[in-house]
């Protein structure tokens, strides 16, 4: 089993006694024996000045896009970095005042949309030009550190579901993302990464020996994370992405979908690593709550061959080919109403427009091949692991 940045930090914690420490964490910040980091610190005699919690809250109980309130803990305050406004995503000056060390320790899942590393970037920007030190306690990228997939984020489409020009599936750890962000954004930081021991780039999460702690309410299993880079696209469409069921992001559906027809059309594409099973399901909350809808369940048949983003785009394209009631949404999404949610997720309007024009899947897929090549050429500059 690998040793995480948190466990490496704890082994040298005596070096940090007397520091005024703030911790950016949630329930995924656990030691090898599954103790929460803040409890492990307390047992070592280290008192935290405060804890910053990301979207979903310290224990991951809130649903997506639900504001989280500040809390008063027994040892220190828990400051929410996901409130009612875009300003709430950044730590306030007064909340950082008096801290000389900030620790970041949250398990990411390796997709650009997942908000935890965007919280890390906002922390980095808040520390720009300050003497406060930042330590990123590194954890594995569950999807591995080799493969990349999808287009780069285009300028003007930055949001809380994408702040950096990286592909949807980027193949970087949190620590490597921090190194990339510091260079790309030109940040003046006193920052170090506490590296993992034993992690190699071709490891999936199952190879690490670490327990899966669901990072958010709708990420219950590693299989969910493996499909998420593609299935999250359905947040931008009038379709259920499976929230309100026990298998979110592993099945999608809507009241206008014929499951047999949709599954057959998708299966005919012969997409690598997946099998589409027609289903009916009834979400208990979120879209179509309390209503039976038709859709498909996506079974992973070959994890190495799986291309989740291409799969998600293919599913959206077929949906619009078959059903006139399919719609792209243009509401407020993650505090942003400047662009449709689908565009914020894909990083530009290009894929949505090509789908609406009926462009072939191969042509659409070809539009991000150059982005993948470009990122692969520079990605190694930020690698901290072989």
Tell me: the pLDDT tens digits for 88-139? 999 999 999 999 999 999 999 999 999 999 999 999 999 999 999 999 999 9
Separation of alpha carbons 342 and 226, rounded Å: 19
Tell me: the pLDDT tens digits for 47-80? 999 999 999 999 999 999 899 998 877 689 999 9
- 271 and 205 housed in the same domain: no
**Predicted TM-score (pTM) of this structure:** 0.97
Last residue of a domain, one of 185, 214, 243: 214
Helices 259-267 and 308-322 cross at an angle (nearest 10°) of 130
Sheet harboring 101-105: ordered strands across?
Answer: 71-72, 77-80, 48-53, 21-25, 101-105, 133-137, 190-194
CB-facing half-sphere around the CA of 84: CA atoms within 13 A: 2
Q: Is residue 360 part of a domain?
A: no
Q: Render 255-287 in DSSP notation, one character per residue.
A: TT--HHHHHHHHHTT--TTEEEEEEEE--SSST
Overall domain count for the chain: 2
Task: Enter the tokens of residue 280.
Answer: 């009916």
Tell me: the pLDDT tens digits for 330-383? 999 999 999 999 999 999 999 999 999 999 999 999 999 999 999 999 999 999
Name the DSSP letter for residue 150: S
Bridge partners (DSSP) listed for residue 328: 237
- 155 and 248 housed in the same domain: no
Query: Residue 252 CB: number of other CB atoms within 10 A?
Result: 27
CATH code of residue 254: 3.90.1150.140
- State residue 315's pLDDT score: 98
Closest alpha carbon to 187 in 132, 139, 145, 140: 132
CATH code of residue 24: 3.40.50.12170
Contacts of 376 (CB under 8 A, 6+ apart): 148
- 307 and 190 housed in the same domain: no
Separation of alpha carbons 67 and 73, rounded Å: 18
Host H or E run for residue 52: strand 48-53
Q: Could you give the dihedral angle defined by the CA atoms of residues 179, 180, 183 and 187, in that order, rounded to the nearest 10 degrees? A: -60
Tell me: the pLDDT tens digits for 216-252? 999 999 999 999 999 999 999 999 999 999 999 999 9
Separation of alpha carbons 130 and 132, rounded Å: 5
Range of the domain at 209: 5-214
């Amino acid at each position: 089993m690998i040793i995480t940045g948190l466990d490496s930090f704890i082994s040298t914690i005596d070096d940090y006694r007397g520091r005024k420490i703030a911790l950016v964490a949630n329930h995924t910040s656990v030691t090898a024996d599954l103790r929460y980091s803040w409890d492990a610190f307390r047992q070592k005699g280290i008192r935290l000045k405060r804890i910053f919690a990301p979207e979903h809250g310290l224990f991951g109980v809130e649903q997506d896009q639900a504001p989280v309130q500040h809390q008063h803990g027994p040892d220190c305050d828990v400051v929410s970095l996901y409130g009612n406004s875009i300003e709430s995503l950044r730590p306030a000056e007064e909340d950082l005042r008096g801290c000389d060390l900030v620790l970041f320790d949250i398990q990411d899942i390796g997709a650009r949309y997942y908000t935890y590393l965007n919280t890390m970037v906002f922390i980095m920007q808040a520390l720009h030009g300050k003497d406060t030190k930042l330590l990123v306690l590194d954890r594995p990228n569950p999807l591995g550190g080799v493969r990349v997939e999808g287009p780069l984020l285009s300028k003007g489409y930055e949001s809380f579901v994408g702040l950096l020009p990286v592909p949807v599936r980027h193949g970087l750890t949190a620590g490597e993302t921090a190194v990339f962000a510091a260079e790309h954004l030109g940040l003046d930081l006193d920052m170090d990464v506490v590296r993992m021991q034993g992690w190699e780039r071709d490891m999936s999460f199952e190879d690490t020996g670490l327990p899966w702690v669901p990072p958010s309410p709708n990420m219950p299993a590693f299989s969910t994370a493996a499909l998420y880079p593609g299935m999250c696209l359905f947040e931008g469409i009038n379709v259920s992405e499976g929230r309100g069921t026990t298998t979110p992001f592993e099945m999608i559906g809507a009241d206008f979908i014929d499951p047999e027809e949709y599954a057959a059309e998708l299966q005919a594409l012969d997409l690598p690593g997946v099998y589409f099973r027609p289903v009916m399901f009834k979400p208990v909350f979120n879209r179509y709550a309390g209503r039976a809808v038709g859709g498909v369940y996506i079974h992973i048949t070959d994890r190495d061959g799986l291309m989740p983003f291409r799969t998600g785009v293919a599913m959206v394209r077929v949906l619009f080919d078959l059903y006139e009631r399919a719609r792209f949404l243009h509401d407020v999404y993650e505090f942003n109403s400047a662009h449709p949610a689908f565009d914020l997720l894909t990083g530009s309007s290009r894929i949505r427009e090509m789908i609406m024009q009926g462009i072939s899947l191969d042509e659409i897929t070809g539009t991000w091949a150059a982005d993948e090549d470009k990122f692969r050429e520079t990605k190694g500059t930020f690698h901290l692991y072989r």
